[in-house]
Amino acid sequence: MPSDVSPFLATIVFFVGATFVGMAPVVKLIKVYEAHHELKRGSAGWIRTIAGWSMIAFWLMTTWFLATTLGDWAVSGDLSGAVDRSWLRLRILLEIAAALADSD
């Protein structure tokens, strides 16, 4: 049984990690935004800049998924149970990720 502060500490560490990992997707997000507004739609430069936009969605989805497990853990106090309950969410997320990767 973890102490009450374990989920909180894990969330802090997770936040720092998600922020660090998220820096590259945020740069990509800005580049995609600028490309949408400034590059000629359908041009070679536009296609190259837009390509890879799904990394932004993958980062947000991964962050959300792990946070849901942490939230469950914080309330139930049962980490392995929270992980078990997250499998269905993970499967749905993987389906969404596959669809996003297809359209990237």
Residues making contact with other proteins (CB under 8 A):
11, 14-15, 18-20, 22-23, 25-27, 30, 33-34, 38-40, 42-49, 60, 63-75, 82, 86, 88-89, 92, 95, 98-99, 101-103
Alpha helices per DSSP H over the chain: 6-21, 23-38, 44-50, 54-76, 79-85, 87-103
User: Which 3 state secondary structure label does DSSP give 94?
Assistant: helix
**By C-beta, is 1 or 88 nearer to other proteins?**
88
Minimal distance, residue 93 CB to other proteins, in Å:
11
User: CB neighbours of 57 closer than 8 A, spacing ≥ 6?
Assistant: 97, 100
**By C-beta, is 53 or 73 nearer to other proteins?**
73
Whether the CB-CB separation of 76 and 82 falls below 8 Å is answered with yes
**By C-beta, is 49 or 53 nearer to other proteins?**
49
Minimal distance, residue 1 CB to other proteins, in Å:
18
